[in-house]
Amino acid sequence: MVLKPPCEVAVKELLPLIRALVAKELKARGLSQSKIADLIGVTQPAVSGYLKLKADREPLYSEEIVALSKWLASGLASGTLPSSEAVKGICTLCTNLKCQGSICVTHKKRFPSLKAEGCNICIQLYSKGLPSVDMKQVVLSNLKAAVNLIQASKEFAGLIPEVQVNIVEATPDAKSVRDVAGIPGRIAKVDGAPRAFMQPEFGASKHLASVLLAAMKVNPRVHAAINIAYNRFVKEAFEQLGFRVYVFNRCEPPTNADVAQARVAEEVLNLGKRGEPLPDVFVDTGGYWIEPAAYIFGVDAVEVAQKAIKVAEVVARLRSTG
């Protein structure tokens, strides 16, 4: 008789893996170990251990768990994730993994008698009305949090170009613009402040989504992008912040605006073909049909929003000093 339910696998292996991935994401955002410990509710020495864990070698490691961890890290870093939502996300994933997922597989490997008996207890207990971990909902949540950050930034309005701003995020397995969410109507400047008038939707962006899809082919870790205005102040801000910037200068006038926009995604793909890394920022110096623009890339919408806000703050300071 086995008195070791799959919950033991979840507690001893899944939860530490999620914490480790979240800790690594937060560390990559520049947070200290003590701050990370406060956010995820463990001790600083525990965080140190999580950061040393080779997560991708863990038996339960999967893109599904990575995606959830990125969502959790974004919400914790921005302070926009309610504790109840975090618990819901973890428990939903855990339930899915118990029902013929990696927890179920691992559990049956540890206790062959369960496999021999054709155990399907978790499916019987949980399958009715089982919510799936919908990565599209994760993406939309990230975008909502990112827009909230942007709208709270009084300096961000200084980065809004004539064509306005959009911010997009793609699902991990995105193949087309339908798998990329953005802001319908974009983010505009209203009474000197950034404002989005509609909730994020999938398929809301064509141009920026195409640029992001190209960027993901060069660097699969990137899942989000934002466009902002480009001028001498923005250029200097990039330099002060230490961003890696690639500058694209157009050689020939395009035949129309659509062709002009398509060149950005093409040039991003060309970076990969030439074996060059994806930069933090891709700059299009503009030309006929095209306003100068900068495209900032990141792992999710919250990260690119935070990067853009840092740029906006430096730009505001530069303008105030002439």
Rounded to a whole number of angstroms, the CA Rg of the chain reads 22
Assess contact for 238 and 159: CB atoms under 8 A: no
pLDDT tens column, 162-171: 999 999 999 9
82-101 pLDDT, tens digit per residue, is 888 899 889 888 888 887 56
CA angle in degrees (0–180, nearest 5) for 267-272-276: 100
The domain segmentation of the chain, as residue ranges, is 7-133, 136-320
The CATH number of 136-320 is 3.40.225.10
pLDDT band at 256 (very low <50, low <70, confident <90, very high): low
pLDDT of 102: 78
Q: Which CB contacts under 8 angstroms, 24+ apart, belong to 101-107?
A: 102/59, 102/60, 102/62, 103/6, 103/9, 103/10, 103/14, 103/60, 104/6, 106/9, 106/13, 106/59, 106/60, 107/6, 107/9
Q: How confident is the model at residue 290 (pLDDT cuts 50, 70, 90)?
A: confident
Q: Is the pLDDT of residue 136 over 50?
A: yes
Residue 260 near residue 206, CB atoms below 8 Å: no
**Rounded CA separation 69/63 (Å):** 10
Range from 4-13, 16-25, 307-316 carrying the lowest mean pLDDT: 4-13
What backbone phi and psi angles, to 5 degrees, belong to 32?
Answer: -75, 160
Q: Which amino acid is at 233?
A: F
Whole-angstrom distance, CA of residue 161 vs CA of residue 186: 11
Tell whether the model's pLDDT for residue 199 goes beyond 60: yes
